[in-house]
Structure 1
Amino acid sequence: MTQRYRRGRLALISVLALVLPLAVTGHALADPTNNTPAKLTKAVTLNGVLRHLDALQAISNTHGDRAAGRPGYQASVNYVVGALNAAGYTPTVQPFDFTYLEDNSVLDVIAPIFTSYRKDLDFTYTDFAPRAEGDVTAAVQAVDLVLPPGATANTSTSGCEAADFAGFVPGKIALIQRGSCNFTVKAFNAQAAGAAAVIFFNEGQPGRTGLVIPIGDATGLTIPVVTATFDVGVQLVNLPSPVVRVKVDVNTDTRTAWNVFAESQYGNANNVVMAGAHLDSVQNGPGINDNGSGTAALLETAIQMSKVKTNAKVRFAWWGAEESGLLGSDHYVATLPQAEQSKIALYLNFDMVGSPNHFFGIYDGDDSSGTAPVPIPPGSAQIEDVFEKFYADRGLPSEDTEFSGRSDYGPFIAVNIPAGGLFTGAEELKTAAQAARYGGTAGVAFDACYHQPCDTRSNLNLTALDVNSDAIATAVITFAFDTSTVNSVRAPGKSHGRAPQRGVPS
């Protein structure tokens, strides 16, 4: 499956010496009888999970973040490897090279009141090719906007014609609304009118309010361009004489990241249950909910299962460079031979399981809500059933969350491997109905610190984290002993019905 970690081993060992004490102190010895949901959930304690999160926070405090390609990620790998070794596993580490991107772009209001907008949530750079960079601070001038927006998409023609820039003051930053022509047309018209930079924002109809990332041939464009949400555009329009800083500064090179794996000592190697969580944070943030929460809960589950004699082989995974585009899980699946893919009964994914304004979301494996934008492999509904039963048995509410492929289960479902998992919410706003069911605050993001420096050890709902740690343990131990609902295999070497034949869908 993976190669033993050799390249860079000495560098990892040097950091491991610093973090290993965190990995081996304070843990109860794993019990070989932790072989039922009741026993394993008793062993997987909130305090055990929090010890791992304290260690990840300490790593971020030292290195600034835990992003792939940076020292904090290497230290996070060392921590997980050390904890697994201490529990009796023989972990493997899979290196892979990736295009490291460091985004230092800025969109700030300088006057009349300072506001710093959030990268990748409120604004981002465009995917124009080539991408012009620069750092401009200037007054903003709106260009032929339609506010409130028209009833239908592409009502706005903002910036589509040179005449839209009549009276535009050279040197200002052009604020342009999405609409009926290509973004590149708008950008070149702004440049021709003397704009020092451009801010695009979405048009404003339902489904056209979030970030949209323009693409296109921008040969000859020399001014920096960013794109923002509809709300950001409206805020800038409503400010009196705003002065804004637009900076586009994006650097790339090739760096190495790592996936970490640990397998159960026991179990049928031809019937593999995988469970994974991404280990990396975003840049400039500790990533404690996203995704220290999934990392820590899965790690504690693995530790407490280390001596259990499972029927299926259980393979735990901690993925690298998820925040760069699911790169670690994608590399693993893409380099896994078809014969090995076919041995994977199912994949469980845990990404953000302790959001401070949480809901209990279960990936919608049967697409009962009708929102899946991707094909769902058969068997995924049966995974959803296990999680639904867990919450129901505890008298807790739960609900479907979109089976979107947005996290590390994406590469698995792309090759028709059944998948499921948990999610407690990111940047979306909690509804009044959800607040009535789960508590918390309606109209506020499930995680207001999503992808931000404030995603620290204090950015957790400990009740949600405790409950979901038990849910993770329950699902893993359930399938470790019986995958028959998913692939008809009930015991080592005994198949009751033909296991699904899988391949990459055409």
Structure 2
Amino acid sequence: MRAPRRSAIAGLALAGLTLTTIGVGPAQAGNPNNSAKMRKAVTVDAVMNHLEQFQEIADANDGNRAAGTSGYDASADYVQGVLEAAGYEVTRQYFEFEYQEPGEVEQISPTPTQYVSNTATGSGAGDVTAQVTAVDIQLGLGNTSTSGCQESDFAGFPVGNIALIQRGGCDFGAKADNAEAAGASAVIIFNQGNTTADDRNGPVNATLGKYDVNIPVAGVSYLAGVDLSDPATTVARVYAAPIEMRETYNLIAQTDTGRTDNVVMLGAHLDGAFEGPGINDNGSGAAALLETAVQLAEVKKLNNAVRFAFWGAEELGLLGSNYYVEDLVANNPAELDNIATYLNFDMVGSPNYKIGVYDADQSTYPAPTGVPIPAGSIETEDVLTDYFDSVGQPWVDTEFSGRSDYQAFIVNGIPASGLFTGAEQPKTAAEQELFGGQAGVAYDVNYHGAGDDIDNVSREALDINSDAIAHAAITLAMSTETINGKRSAGKSGKPHPKFDATGRAAA
């Protein structure tokens, strides 16, 4: 159950910052008002410098930058400082969320073993030690498990045992809900065996969504699941920490030129997972977006205002972006309609990368049932793919799944696209041919892990995608005509309404 949210929007002055912007290079001289100039201005060195700052922040704050922690606050202070130094007014949009410290999964017997694990978002709290019972699991590579998706999977389940369930076939929340109804005292969800990498995709990072689950639920890797399923007498412990309410925020900034009734919006989540520094996920997207904002501020005149969003609490269920859009729906629906399109950048520096573009035209992947593709999304995708084609850069489609911060936008009719270099899934042989790297190994073997640090990010992928982000920003700042038919400011001769960076009407 989600806690009630409140609206509290406030800007913070530079005097309150705790981190300086030492090491941030100056904006490039000139007026980078076209794609070639903007791509030259947004350098990979500058993007990497921002990532170095995020790494230093994580190192000084318990090794992570997760929402509700000092690491997130320091990351936000840094981003705000850089934006304000470039001339932006920055708004912090606050919201409350359920905060839960990382939990634990361990085998007690026959072989005491501590596993890398993730407490599911929305998990109940508790400390359970009990025998493990596997529920309709499938071991081996290439399985298509539907473990725990049906109530019948739990026929004869021993009440009080821990349910060992495999990923696949339905929502994590449905699996956990069925397990609780069957009398399970806790749930361990493990990954599918669909890669040859040693970690077999790493631990499951589950979100239980709409399901009200009161027992501890945790995710582990495929190999941990195999270990826990054999022998049948395995006893394990699952610990999920108590939930408390904390406050976090989005950072929003907007250019001071360009029509405000046809805003181009670009976003990346700023928070990382508890397990590590979060440099690829998603320091990479945030750093590339930040440097694009710095250089776009040098353009003397834009036809369309560009709004930059650095989302909070994405890792906990897309909370920041959902709050932002829900706030507009409730308080200023007209301004929601003034967003021409939204572009999302979540993981753009994976070490075993692909260059993926959200497949709005469904040329490779049909959108999942219930995921809308608003009009203009295909044309937004084209801005990215046409650019890659123009410079001879190979790219591939990645599923338009709604499983990142563009979800709230598309659900409310705003067109969207974005870039993604891959997470825990394995790279294909065809992608190895296009991009190098190693087929059969996860795009990012450190996904949601302690190894997601500055030493495990691809500078090459960052360079490619930073150029694409720079191109999209300046191209759409000049014209969104292909997306929504709107031309530059002043065509009607009427003044445009003035809104602040959150989309609220200015006083």
How would you bin the TM-score normalised by the shorter chain?
A: 0.7 to 0.9
C-alpha displacement at 1:105, in angstroms? Answer: 3.2
Provide TM-score, normalisation by structure 1. 0.80
1:404 aligns with 2:397: no
Following the alignment from structure 1 to structure 2, what is the Cα–Cα distance between the partners of residues 157 and 203? 21
Q: Which residue of structure 1 lines up, in the alignment, with residue 286 of structure 2? A: 295
C-alpha displacement at 1:265, in angstroms? Answer: 1.8
Q: Which residue of structure 2 lines up, in the alignment, with residue 340 of structure 1? A: 335
Bigger mean CA deviation after superposition, 242-251 or 306-315: 242-251
Following the alignment from structure 2 to structure 1, what is the Cα–Cα distance between the partners of residues 421 and 406? 16
Q: Which residue of structure 2 lines up, in the alignment, with residue 84 of structure 1? A: 83
Select the residue among 5, 21, 32 that pairs with 2:10: 5
Bigger mean CA deviation after superposition, 322-331 or 138-147: 138-147
Q: Structure 1 residues 110 and 475, CA, compared in 2 at 3 Å: closer, same or farther? A: farther
| Aligned positions, number | 463
1:49 aligns with 2:40: no
Following the alignment from structure 2 to structure 1, what is the Cα–Cα distance between the partners of residues 163 and 146? 24
1:236 aligns with 2:228: yes
Provide TM-score, normalisation by structure 2. 0.80
Select the residue among 298, 309, 321 that pairs with 1:317: 309
SS of the residue corresponding to residue 454 of structure 2 reads coil
Matching residue's letter, 1:39:
K
SS of the residue corresponding to residue 315 of structure 1 reads strand
SS of the residue corresponding to residue 20 of structure 1 reads coil
Matching residue's letter, 2:273:
V
C-alpha displacement at 1:399, in angstroms? Answer: 1.0
Q: Which residue of structure 1 lines up, in the alignment, with residue 73 of structure 2? A: 74
Q: Structure 1 residues 202 and 183, CA, compared in 2 at 3 Å: closer, same or farther? A: farther
Following the alignment from structure 1 to structure 2, what is the Cα–Cα distance between the partners of residues 439 and 32? 36
Q: Which residue of structure 1 lines up, in the alignment, with residue 33 of structure 2? A: 35
Contact 1:109–1:116 (CA under 8 A) maintained in structure 2 = no
1:331 aligns with 2:323: yes
Following the alignment from structure 1 to structure 2, what is the Cα–Cα distance between the partners of residues 61 and 36? 38
Q: Residues 109-124 of structure 1 correspond to what in structure 2 (within 5 A)?
A: 112=111, 114=113, 116-119=115-118, 124=120
Matching residue's letter, 1:94:
Q
Matching residue's letter, 2:10:
Y
C-alpha displacement at 1:458, in angstroms? Answer: 1.1
Query: Larger radius of gyration, structure 1 or 2?
Result: 1
Select the residue among 230, 237, 242 that pairs with 1:251: 242
Offset from partner CA, 1:304-334 (integer Å, 9 cap, x none): 1112111101111111111111111111111
Contact 1:160–1:185 (CA under 8 A) maintained in structure 2 = no
Q: Structure 1 residues 111 and 325, CA, compared in 2 at 3 Å: closer, same or farther? A: same
SS of the residue corresponding to residue 272 of structure 1 reads strand
Following the alignment from structure 1 to structure 2, what is the Cα–Cα distance between the partners of residues 202 and 291? 22
Offset from partner CA, 1:41-80 (integer Å, 9 cap, x none): 1111111001111111111111121111111111111101
Q: Which residue of structure 2 lines up, in the alignment, with residue 439 of structure 1? A: 436
Bigger mean CA deviation after superposition, 319-328 or 248-257: 248-257
Following the alignment from structure 1 to structure 2, what is the Cα–Cα distance between the partners of residues 313 and 184? 45
Q: Residues 247-396 of structure 1 correspond to what in structure 2 (within 5 A)?
A: 247-308=238-299, 309-336=301-328, 337-373=332-368, 374-396=371-393
C-alpha displacement at 1:255, in angstroms? Answer: 1.4
Select the residue among 466, 470, 473 that pairs with 1:473: 470
C-alpha displacement at 1:202, in angstroms? Answer: 8.4
SS of the residue corresponding to residue 411 of structure 1 reads helix
Following the alignment from structure 2 to structure 1, what is the Cα–Cα distance between the partners of residues 145 and 68? 45
Matching residue's letter, 1:79:
Y
Following the alignment from structure 2 to structure 1, what is the Cα–Cα distance between the partners of residues 19 and 71? 12
Unmatched runs of 5 consecutive residues or more in structure 2: 1-6, 195-202, 493-507
C-alpha displacement at 1:260, in angstroms? Answer: 1.1
1:426 aligns with 2:423: yes
SS of the residue corresponding to residue 103 of structure 1 reads coil
RMSD: 3.7
Contact 2:313–2:319 (CA under 8 A) maintained in structure 1 = yes
Offset from partner CA, 1:230-262 (integer Å, 9 cap, x none): 764434335x68855422223222211111122
Q: Structure 1 residues 68 and 29, CA, compared in 2 at 3 Å: closer, same or farther? A: same
Offset from partner CA, 1:418-468 (integer Å, 9 cap, x none): 111100001111112211221111111111111111111112111001110
Following the alignment from structure 2 to structure 1, what is the Cα–Cα distance between the partners of residues 429 and 251? 40
Following the alignment from structure 2 to structure 1, what is the Cα–Cα distance between the partners of residues 491 and 425? 45
Contact 2:271–2:315 (CA under 8 A) maintained in structure 1 = yes
Offset from partner CA, 1:135-161 (integer Å, 9 cap, x none): 43x775668978789999889966512
Q: Which residue of structure 2 lines up, in the alignment, with residue 499 of structure 1? A: none
Following the alignment from structure 1 to structure 2, what is the Cα–Cα distance between the partners of residues 51 and 346? 29
Unmatched runs of 5 consecutive residues or more in structure 1: 496-506
Matching residue's letter, 2:79:
V
User: Structure 1 vs Structure 2: percent identity of aligned residues?
Assistant: 45
Q: Residues 480-495 of structure 1 correspond to what in structure 2 (within 5 A)?
A: 480-494=477-491
SS of the residue corresponding to residue 422 of structure 2 reads coil
SS of the residue corresponding to residue 75 of structure 1 reads helix
Q: Structure 1 residues 102 and 346, CA, compared in 2 at 3 Å: closer, same or farther? A: same
Offset from partner CA, 1:338-376 (integer Å, 9 cap, x none): 111111111111110000011000011212224212110
Following the alignment from structure 1 to structure 2, what is the Cα–Cα distance between the partners of residues 463 and 112? 43
Offset from partner CA, 1:11-59 (integer Å, 9 cap, x none): x845x2x42232xx44233445101110111111111001111111111
Matching residue's letter, 1:310:
L
Bigger mean CA deviation after superposition, 385-394 or 106-115: 106-115
Following the alignment from structure 2 to structure 1, what is the Cα–Cα distance between the partners of residues 286 and 346? 8
Q: Structure 1 residues 414 and 182, CA, compared in 2 at 3 Å: closer, same or farther? A: closer
Q: Residues 454-469 of structure 1 correspond to what in structure 2 (within 5 A)?
A: 454-469=451-466
Q: Which residue of structure 2 lines up, in the alignment, with residue 58 of structure 1? A: 56
Following the alignment from structure 2 to structure 1, what is the Cα–Cα distance between the partners of residues 113 and 182? 29
Matching residue's letter, 1:490:
R
Q: Structure 1 residues 241 and 305, CA, compared in 2 at 3 Å: closer, same or farther? A: same
Following the alignment from structure 1 to structure 2, what is the Cα–Cα distance between the partners of residues 333 and 183? 29
Q: Structure 1 residues 184 and 281, CA, compared in 2 at 3 Å: closer, same or farther? A: closer
Q: Structure 1 residues 155 and 85, CA, compared in 2 at 3 Å: closer, same or farther? A: closer
C-alpha displacement at 1:263, in angstroms? Answer: 1.2
Matching residue's letter, 2:288:
A
Q: Which residue of structure 1 lines up, in the alignment, with residue 199 of structure 2? A: none
